[in-house]
Amino acid sequence: MKQKPRLPDFQVQFFAEKEGDEFPWKSRLEPLARKILLEEGHPENVNIVIGSDAMVRELNATYRKLDKVTDVLSFEWHEDYLLGEIYIARDQVKRQAPKFGNSFYQELKRMIVHGLLHLSGYDHHTAAERAVMRRREREILGFDIYRIQKGQK
């Protein structure tokens, strides 16, 4: 009897900065995150943390020398036990969701996709890198968020 191939054993864990808070929609977002990591060839543990603008601003200032809030930060670890961590600024994501024509859930999903692609080696410093990363985001999300932002369909 042919055995079904075993999927790699790895975890995507979701955390909230504030004790007692829950990461929203984690049961819907975890399978997506696992799928992306498998497709990108990185079936490794990842932590995703949602928190305050202040938390993300502090991380951005400390590690990127940019003293401002941003929506998502990805930190590669490449350790045996952890590929990396993603930090998401909850309120920033809520504020920017309408700009992209998204609900909070859709924008949170987009931030997770974006963060996971960074952990998988994608970047957007140059126009060529940006094109590749945006194309992959479109494939995963099923639409071009940047075209929607500009009012195009």
Q: Give the pLDDT score at 152.
A: 47
Q: What is the pLDDT of residue 35?
A: 96
Could you tell me the pTM of the whole model? 0.89
Predicted pLDDT of residue 4: 59
What does each C-alpha distance from 61 to 50, 54, 69, 122, 150 come to in angstroms? 17, 10, 9, 22, 29
How high is the pLDDT of residue 126? 95
Q: What is the pLDDT of residue 91?
A: 97
Can you say which residues are annotated as belonging to the binding site for Zn(2+)?
114, 118, 124
Task: Supply the pLDDT for residue 86.
Answer: 98
Give the pLDDT of residue 153: 43
Give me the pLDDT at residue 6, please. 56
In whole angstroms, give the CA distance from residue 90 to residue 70: 10
For the chain, the domains span: 10-16+23-141
Identify the architecture of domain 10-16+23-141 in CATH.
Answer: 3-Layer(aba) Sandwich (3.40)
Point out the annotated binding site.
Answer: 114, 118, 124
Element (H, E) at 116: helix 104-119
Q: Which residue numbers in the chain have pLDDT < 50? A: 152-153
